[in-house]
């Protein structure tokens, strides 16, 4: 693991744990050990702590042993001239970060009960939704099981502009993902940018503004933990099954937008425990080998117009296209449709002109998903005869792609073209 990333994550974890310890001591002096504490209207207490340690936090007095366990997870700060394997200590630091942040957020509910709206939609003067209660969780959590929502993107920070934020959010929505938002960069927050751009946010639109600080990231990870416990049959405290369930079933990733602070690194390290990789728009060190995550762990410096697609590739997210963006009806029902001679507007191949179809595989970094390039005249430029030569070249890529797959994929051209209403494709090699 990158020494730079591990050093920053461990530094960030130390800062966050110290902040949690200070908050706890202040709360203990103010309210005493018998004061009830937790996220509102949920049977999962503080869900990450409950899922990983099996400890239900009900009162402030229950927090102390968890904080002691959190402190014990913290590795020592990385020394400049000492080179060690850093993955294990960094993952421990990330887990300690989430425990500490849950305690910070639980105490915030005590200090300011109205800081979060505690409902599905933001209010005119408050867009921060906070932890999902069990009513929202039962309604939304089942979507992570039945395939309606394959996972979520945890966006930290802000895009360079509201327009870019809106474009990223729309692309993520098109992949049926939830977008969980927190933290700020350069005084801006992604959720506030969406509101500025006229986008409706809230649970109904899958654009969930959890909180203004990076500590609100625990609401996203806690939601994943609750899904595993409620719908996956994972028992509280069975951390191994919870982590594996989410790695295999919840296609989530972290997307930091802006300068990555030590605290952001600590949260990203925590997410890796669940198999959730990080895809950043800034030039931070990368962790490319496969290990805890399905593929890469950290991918950086991704352009904003490619970051959603790259994130889907890194997480291994497979998206079923619900609607093909073309100006005619499209589907298997039109495959057997016949186009009669008098109705033909344009004809390609069939012995009348040259025609070829060819599928070839390439490395993944040489193929841009969804790109269509037209070379030569378009169909409406066929001239008086209505006949044109045609060549269809399809470049494909995939992590498990093999040359033997090329002819199999090439034969799919027949079906894919015939699915369009008013187009008939006959013959193939």
Same domain, 165 and 260: yes
Mean predicted confidence (pLDDT) in 67-73: 98
425 pLDDT above the threshold of 70: yes
299-331 per-position pLDDT tens digit: 999 999 999 999 999 999 987 766 788 899 888
Task: Tell me the pLDDT of the chain averaged across its residues.
Answer: 93
Asked whether residue 429 is domain-assigned, the answer is no
Helix or strand or coil: residue 193? Answer: helix
Percent share of the chain, pLDDT over 90:
78
| Domain final residue, candidates 251, 280, 315 | 315
Mean predicted confidence (pLDDT) in 137-146: 94
At residue 78, the pLDDT reads 87
Asked whether residue 53 is domain-assigned, the answer is yes
> What total number of domains does the chain contain?
2
381-417 per-position pLDDT tens digit: 766 778 889 999 999 998 889 999 999 899 899 989 9
Same domain, 229 and 371: no
Out of 64-73, 94-103, 332-341, least confident range: 332-341
Same domain, 220 and 256: yes
Closest CA to 281 of 153, 128, 382: 153
Q: Whole-prediction pTM value? A: 0.85
Residue 354 vs residues 144, 340, 357, 389, 416: alpha-carbon distances, Å: 49, 21, 11, 5, 20
Same domain, 287 and 374: no
Asked whether residue 324 is domain-assigned, the answer is no
Mean predicted confidence (pLDDT) in 60-78: 96
8-20 per-position pLDDT tens digit: 999 999 999 999 9
CA dihedral 127, 131, 134, 139 (to 10 degrees): 50
Domain assignment of residue 368, given as a range: 332-418
> Residue 414 is part of a domain; what is its CATH number?
3.30.1650.10
At residue 387, the pLDDT reads 87
d(CA 412, CA 349): 18
Asked whether residue 30 is domain-assigned, the answer is yes
Same domain, 30 and 157: yes
Q: In 3-state terms, the chain is what percent helix, strand and coil (to 5)?
A: 45, 15, 45
């Amino acid at each position: 693991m990158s020494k730079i990333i591990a050093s920053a994550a461990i530094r960030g974890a130390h800062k966050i744990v110290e902040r949690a310890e200070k908050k706890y001591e202040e709360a203990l002096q103010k309210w005493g050990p018998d004061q009830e504490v937790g996220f509102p209207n949920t049977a999962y207490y503080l869900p990450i702590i409950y899922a990983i340690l099996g400890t239900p936090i009900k009162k402030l007095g229950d927090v102390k042993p968890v904080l002691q366990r959190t402190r014990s997870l913290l590795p020592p700060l990385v020394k400049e001239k000492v080179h060690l394997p850093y993955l294990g200590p960094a993952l421990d630091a990330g887990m300690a970060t989430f425990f500490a942040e849950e305690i910070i957020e639980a105490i915030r509910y005590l200090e300011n009960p109205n800081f979060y709206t505690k409902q599905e939609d933001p209010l005119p003067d408050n867009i921060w939704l906070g932890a999902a209660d069990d009513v929202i969780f039962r309604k939304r959590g089942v979507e992570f099981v039945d395939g309606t929502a394959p996972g979520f993107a945890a966006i930290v920070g802000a895009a360079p502009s509201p327009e870019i934020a809106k474009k990223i959010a729309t692309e993520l929505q098109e992949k049926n993902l939830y977008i969980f938002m927190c933290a700020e960069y350069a005084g801006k927050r992604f959720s506030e940018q969406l509101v500025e751009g006229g986008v409706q946010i809230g649970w109904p639109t899958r654009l969930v503004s959890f909180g203004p600080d990076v500590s609100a990231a625990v609401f996203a990870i806690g939601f994943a933990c609750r899904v595993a416990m409620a719908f996956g049959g994972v028992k509280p405290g069975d951390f191994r099954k919870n982590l594996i369930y989410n790695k295999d079933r919840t296609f989530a990733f972290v997307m930091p937008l802006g300068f990555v602070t030590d605290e952001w690194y600590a949260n990203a390290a925590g997410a890796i425990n669940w198999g959730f990789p990080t895809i950043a728009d800034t030039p931070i060190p990368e962790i490319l080998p496969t290990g805890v995550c399905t593929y890469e762990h950290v991918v950086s410096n991704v352009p904003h117009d490619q970051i959603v697609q790259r994130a889907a590739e890194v997480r291994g997210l497979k998206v079923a296209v619900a609607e093909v963006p073309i100006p005619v009806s499209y589907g298997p029902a039109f495959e057997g449709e016949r186009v009669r001679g008098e109705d033909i507007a344009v004809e390609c191949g069939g012995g009348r002109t040259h025609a070829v179809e060819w599928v070839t595989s390439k490395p993944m970094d040489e193929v841009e998903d969804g790109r269509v390039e037209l070379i030569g005249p378009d169909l409406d430029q066929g001239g008086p005869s209505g006949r044109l030569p045609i060549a269809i070249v399809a470049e494909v890529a995939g992590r498990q792609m093999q040359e033997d797959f090329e002819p199999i994929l090439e034969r799919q051209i027949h079906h894919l073209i015939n699915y369009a209403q008013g187009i008939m494709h006959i013959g193939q090699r």
